[in-house]
Structure 1
């Protein structure tokens, strides 16, 4: 059963507050590294999401929400922020979230509706008044090439003929009061659409949306097929159209309840140095390089607007929760389309998405008549041929007695079930993310490299070994008695010397 759809970032924050999963930082913080360090500390300690309300040098009421889609501090609900963002119960598990998204891939899209006005237009700044330096843009890592204005916002662009509108996420660095620069990679839809505009010799209109309803960044990061409008998928997923308003200086539409909208054009033939930046792989990535320039023509925002900020780096942060979970859902959908008996698909968040886990039921051989080698190859073919598979350098094919979201179980199962040399399948070349440090410089430059899939499946006959884990080895009645006994013992905690003699 779904939870209510949260229509704005502020509704989302209020819901998190009700769970104790947001904390106000009412003391003054500095945009120069302090905000970034505070958010990184929240990731490392799984603390509530920080809401910074006093920012040094800012007297215009802007606020910052850190870690908006990270793992939650709510006990027993690590994916609460992701689940609530996607209209699911806060206690939903990782596989439950992935299955809900994969199911929605077969739902008919619902086109957005355009409304006359929305909160995002409470303040309209045009021309010289559209000053990026008035926004609370932090320097996130010691080593970044500059302050990054986009870490969780959605970039909206359309093809020159207007037939395809794409919503996506890519990092963008602020240059000065009205210019930005960022990645428009040819493997991404954003880069592909930009190339269409370049081919016509025209600047590309864009809108950068910050603080839309919480589902938007997740859907914007999903590897949907070419030509698919994310806003239509979002409407179909919720069974309700997204409300949009028209931009003030470009022919695009944006979510009406957004906190901040930055409008303008991406220039043709003009570049500026971007980077380096701390990235999801856990390293300060790359060196300064020339990338296209975004020219700003308008900024609109809500009163006391909130800028969501992600500090990419060592897991687990939003690159892993958003990109990993959304790509897992897309791969589950595609594997289902090939009639492979797959239970779950999960990008290991702790591996910085380099490791993909695919689980199958014990009776997989009866459902497919495949050998385990054939099944391994079939899974590898789908993953390597999918845009959603570009994150993976290794794939583990496991029985579904293993919880793919439990890094300890996955490590144990991989170490004990995979042959060190045999039962492995290598795909020589597939798309990869250029930030993946384990690949060679040439492979990263080409955004292409190999992938290995490990057949970790147990025997399907009577030689299949029994697990010794609590939930797998003991009868249900014994488990129930032990859990009840542990609960009773927990209220009688004391030292040995307190025991009666």
Structure 2
């Protein structure tokens, strides 16, 4: 299922939709951005999904700019709403999210350039000494532990100097002064590939950080879109129409015209300064490292600009939710693109920091599950530490059902696959500190290897009949 046209050209339209549906709550009392904001957001995300909502902090102490959190990925249902997927009796067709993503990847929509006069992000322009990022309420996300306030939802845009294709990804940005931001550019990421090309030629690199873009831009920026594909064209695929972009004021990049704010700058070759620590998505503090620094050349923003932040840190968090959904969708498309048959769905467990993946297949040949494991590890080499492959009779979104399949379909000696000396990620606290990001991975084949007896439970037809007649029994409503 793919929605034909966009509903939300900018973050404001999306927030208005959330508010109309009772999913945006305003905090009107004065709030401290350096501890209260993160703690309130954390408490809301600790609730069960049906009790979560987006937050808008209207009175951040010392600032006139509001801050929004949990605004895209508080729940899968909220994420689905942005894609136009209907919610029926509080439930969504989870596979429809993946279908939209797969469609968008196969059918990217070229961006539409607009003139500066019609770009809301140009309503205010500050250059040179007038640039002051500290005039805006950028939160501290791990109070008492982060090195400084951080841009946590900034969509970082770079351009490959050889192809001219732009890349857009979300990378943490440490506020180091009014006009300087330390940006984490990790090895093997698309951002690092581009950065290395500039450094190899001893050239400065143009870079832009887009704050509070249209929701579809944020959705694709957190995903591992194949290198050489402009993420914003995939955003257009999700939206069903081109994303409008405008040329930057001081650098040669195109940015979403309906963003709330755009930070323009340059990264000088060879520049590295201390950046971090920062509370990372593994639920532990990421260490201080030496990272490139953005020298800000211009700051453009809308009247009444809104600052959007993604809370990372310990899952569940908005950052983990939107990354998990993107990873599921991209992984599903990648496995099918490899020609692996019978791949039906993919689920990333919300507490697993993208390390626990469940794949549902319709087995078609001996060793099918192991082929799927290899495909997952090829597509996401530094994630997917645990891969479980189940059959099509398993509800991969139901932890109880997955556990039952593990208990009844697996013999450890036969069904476990351990891959030693595999690529990991340095932020994983379980990684040995001296192995250059080499760890290991575990695959579990939870498919049947022979004919099983019938299940010892009433048939689905009978259970469905009882559900239809539930009201007549005088019992409390069922939760599922």
Deviations 1:321-366 (A, max 9, x none): 22211111111112212132111111111222211000113xx23x
Candidates 430, 433, 457, aligned match of 1:438: 430
Give aligned pairs, total.
467
1:455 aligns with 2:458: no
Q: Single out whichever of 322-331 and 188-197 deviates more from structure 2.
A: 322-331
Candidates 397, 402, 408, aligned match of 1:410: 402
Distance in 1 of aligned mates of 2:226 and 2:13: 30
Give the aligned partner of residue 231 of structure 1.
Answer: 232
Give the aligned partner of residue 419 of structure 1.
Answer: 411
TM-score, scaled relative to structure 1: 0.88
Q: Do 1:350 and 1:407's aligned partners in 2 also have CA atoms closer than 8 Å?
A: no
1:378 aligns with 2:371: yes
Distance in 1 of aligned mates of 2:148 and 2:351: 26
Change (3 A) 1:150 1:94: farther
Give the aligned partner of residue 156 of structure 2.
Answer: 155
Q: Do 2:311 and 2:319's aligned partners in 1 also have CA atoms closer than 8 Å?
A: no
Offset at residue 39 of structure 1 (A) = 0.9
1:57 aligns with 2:56: no
Q: Single out whichever of 37-46 and 157-166 deviates more from structure 2.
A: 157-166
Correspondence 1:359-370 to 2 at 5 A: 359-361=360-362, 364-365=363-364, 370=365
Q: Do 2:167 and 2:229's aligned partners in 1 also have CA atoms closer than 8 Å?
A: yes
Give the aligned partner of residue 99 of structure 1.
Answer: 99
Q: Is the partner of 1:346 in helix, strand or coil? A: strand
Q: Is the partner of 1:207 in helix, strand or coil? A: strand
Offset at residue 181 of structure 1 (A) = 0.6
Offset at residue 491 of structure 1 (A) = 7.3
Offset at residue 441 of structure 1 (A) = 1.5
Give the aligned partner of residue 22 of structure 1.
Answer: 24
Change (3 A) 1:143 1:429: farther
Distance in 1 of aligned mates of 2:382 and 2:85: 27
Q: Do 1:331 and 1:389's aligned partners in 2 also have CA atoms closer than 8 Å?
A: no
Deviations 1:426-462 (A, max 9, x none): 233443222112222234xx2333211101112453x
Distance in 2 of aligned mates of 1:422 and 1:324: 30
Q: Single out whichever of 174-183 and 399-408 deviates more from structure 2.
A: 399-408
Distance in 1 of aligned mates of 2:273 and 2:423: 27
Q: Is the partner of 1:175 in helix, strand or coil? A: strand
Q: Is the partner of 2:331 in helix, strand or coil? A: helix
Correspondence 1:86-485 to 2 at 5 A: 86-90=83-87, 91-107=91-107, 109-117=108-116, 118-161=119-162, 163-286=164-287, 288-337=288-337, 338-361=339-362, 364-365=363-364, 370-371=365-366, 374-386=367-379, 388-443=380-435, 446-459=436-449, 461=451, 463-466=452-455, 468=457, 473-485=458-470
Offset at residue 488 of structure 1 (A) = 6.2
Distance in 2 of aligned mates of 1:241 and 1:156: 17
Offset at residue 284 of structure 1 (A) = 1.8
Q: Is the partner of 2:414 in helix, strand or coil? A: coil
Change (3 A) 1:487 1:275: farther
Q: Do 1:95 and 1:346's aligned partners in 2 also have CA atoms closer than 8 Å?
A: no
Deviations 1:371-399 (A, max 9, x none): 1xx2122112211111x353210100111
Q: Do 2:370 and 2:445's aligned partners in 1 also have CA atoms closer than 8 Å?
A: no
Q: Single out whichever of 63-72 and 299-308 deviates more from structure 2.
A: 63-72
Q: Is the partner of 1:191 in helix, strand or coil? A: helix
Q: Is the partner of 2:269 in helix, strand or coil? A: strand
Q: Is the partner of 1:442 in helix, strand or coil? A: coil
TM-score, scaled relative to structure 2: 0.91
Distance in 1 of aligned mates of 2:334 and 2:453: 29
Q: Do 1:355 and 1:392's aligned partners in 2 also have CA atoms closer than 8 Å?
A: yes
Distance in 1 of aligned mates of 2:404 and 2:276: 38
Q: Single out whichever of 114-123 and 399-408 deviates more from structure 2.
A: 399-408
Offset at residue 221 of structure 1 (A) = 1.6
**What RMSD over aligned residues (CA atoms) do the two structures have, in Å?**
2.2
Q: Do 2:157 and 2:169's aligned partners in 1 also have CA atoms closer than 8 Å?
A: yes
Give the aligned partner of residue 499 of structure 1.
Answer: none
Offset at residue 475 of structure 1 (A) = 4.3
Q: Do 2:358 and 2:389's aligned partners in 1 also have CA atoms closer than 8 Å?
A: yes
Deviations 1:291-350 (A, max 9, x none): 111111111111111111122122221332222111111111122121321111111112
